[in-house]
Chains A and B, each alone.
Chain A
Amino acid sequence: MLDTPMVVADRVSKSFGSNEVLKSISLEVKRGEVMCLVGPSGSGKSTFLRCINHLEVVSSGRLSVDGELIGYREANHKLYEMRPKEAARQRRDIGMVFQRFNLFPHMTALQNVMEAPIRVKGLSKVGVEANARALLARVGLAERADYYPAHLSGGQQQRVAIARALAMEPKLMLFDEPTSALDPELVGEVLDVMQGLARDGMTMIVVTHEMGFAREVADSLVFMDGGVVVESGVPTEVLANPQHHRTQAFLSKVL
């Protein structure tokens, strides 16, 4: 069981109308692995990430998390799209962090973190609150528990968003450009939290432009362009010695 990969994508394709955004993506993410997805904008990396928790529905191919097919049920050699309730159950175990934080502005940091465990898992408020405070402490925001998002800096908001996702005790964390909307001096505090998560053994897929983070924290790096995986491998090697000319062209711009 521990040997099976956490995420398996097998020829995953996705089209918006006639526009094919993902073209037969195949990759694997092992348990405890940190994978960074990099590539130019429009390369399909965010779309791929959103397919993993069924925020986008894949057009063809198979995508499974922890051995379970995402968004579809298989019966009689056919795939049937899941009902919203079943999809919601799968999403519980997959945390997601967004570029624009998407904290609930009408709730305090603590309420943001407590919302899903209470409403979705139906846990009792007392235990959830203790756990939520511990999570906020873990991301260094114990003192900010009663602040509304509008009173927090971007970096603090993103750390609350990470705590909110962790509150559901996910087995996989998806990060969609988590530092792209932040002022440069706030990027570090978010990356530190993510590095801590990686150290604790969380399986993570990170869409990012932070090559330093990819080099130091990630176990694997996947370079996407035009909806296909152009190159992948150990981050230090891909970054130092890119094989494909498209990877070379991209890295020469961002490094």
Chain B
Amino acid sequence: MTDTTATGVKTEPGIKAIRLRHPWRNTFAVVLLLLVALFIADAAMRPAYDWPAVGKYLFDQRISQAAFVTLQLTVYSMVIAIILGVTLAIMRLSPNTVVSSIAWVYLWIFRGTPVYVQLAFWGLIGTIYQTIDIGLPFTDPWVSFPTRVALSAFILAIVGLALNEAAYMAEIVRAGLLSVDSGQEEAATALGMSWFQTMVRVIVPQSMRVIIPPAGNEVISMLKTTSLVTAIPFTLELYTRSRDIAAVTFETVPMLIVASIWYLFFTSILMVGQYFLEKRFARGIGDRRPDKKADDATASLTGTMTGVTPVIGSGQPTVVLPPTDPHKGDR
């Protein structure tokens, strides 16, 4: 019996696996590629795009200066928005009902109205409050100066963008803080750490993993939203500047392409930055490696070799780690 079974197994021809073919996938891909090629060829020829003009204005000094202003608007307003957002998030988590309610009302107003409308309001601040007074209420002010002088359009643009963005950042930060296990706060408290130390050293670093992906989206979104500060009106940023040039030269389409290329350039850089930040704050989570030092040592010892298994420890229950990939660095 066993003999026949054994020979039966031996002589049996192996099953030849033929994978399911998907002819339509390939056909569809070819059609799509053809359409894309057609579009590109057409766009290259089409006079309305006026590629020579795009090349001429892409590195025009007025444009690169405006691009720099756009970047400044993004960075300054984002920094303020993050600080204010963290404050609002902590306020919303406060046991003091008045404090948490104020934060809620702030969010309700600034998330519930369009940023364009808010920016228009900031543009009119000089009309609504004609002077800025410093002093005690119901007495003569110590210092008083006209709002229009104190607050330039540039500052108003930053304030307008930042206050709007803070409302969104607050919700992102709050979600991040709540994502950290409550045992972490307990452990830190039990060690005698203060509330502030617990936040800075334990809670915030862990919440960053949850905060950074949506916050990265917000930065990219902010870069593009800067084009709305024309509502103030502030005219020195990328979009308004390129539109102004187009109004004189009648090269509207090429100028839009120039602006788009700059926006794409900046957002691409931001996406790369976000990638590395996410890696940085994923420390200890997700990666299956002992630590960076051990990894560096392995990498330097083995050169470009991958798939080395560092077995660390002696006398301890052995943990055999999966092969490490030196390119998967966490910072």
Contact = CB atoms under 8 A, between A and B. Distances in A.
Contact of A106 (B186, B192, B197, B285): B285
A104 B285 contact: no
B291 A107 contact: no
A84 interface: yes
A153 B317 contact: yes
Given A104-B202, A105-B285, A147-B290, A91 B183 contact: no
Contact of B184 (A85, A94, A104, A148): A104
Contacts of B189: 55, 88, 91
A164 interface: yes
B201 to A, nearest CB: 6
B111 interface: no
B52 to A, nearest CB: 53
B316 A151 contact: no
A88 B186 contact: no
Interface string A100-124: 1011111110000001100110000
Contacts of A31: none
Interface residues of A, number: 39
Contacts of A164: 191
Contacts of B202: 104
A92 interface: yes
Interface string B196-225: 010001100110000000000000000000
A91 B188 CA distance: 10
A144 B321 CA distance: 13
B190 interface: yes
A115 B191 contact: yes
Contacts of B269: none
A144 B186 contact: no
Given A106-B284, A141-B316, A98 B187 contact: yes
Contacts of B285: 105-106, 148, 150
B314 interface: yes
Given A106-B283, A146-B293, A147-B290, A116 B193 contact: yes
A140 B319 contact: no
B294 interface: yes
Question: Which of B183, B281, B314 has most chain A Cβ within 10 Å?
Answer: B183
B186 A102 contact: yes
B288 interface: yes
Interface string A188-214: 000000000000000000000000000
A104 B194 contact: no
B187 to A, nearest CB: 4
Interface in B152-191: 181, 183-184, 186-191
A116 B283 CA distance: 20
A229 to B, nearest CB: 24
Interface string B31-54: 000000000000000000000000
Question: Which of A53, A148, A149 has most chain B Cβ within 10 Å?
Answer: A148
B197 A120 contact: yes
A93 B306 CA distance: 47
Interface in B77-111: none
Interface string A114-158: 011001100000000000000000001101101111110100000
Given A100-B183, A106-B284, A119 B290 contact: no
Given A105-B284, A151-B319, 16 more contacts: A96-B187, A98-B183, A102-B186, A116-B191, A116-B192, A119-B201, A140-B316, A141-B316, A143-B316, A144-B316, A146-B293, A148-B283, A151-B290, A153-B319, A161-B187, A164-B191
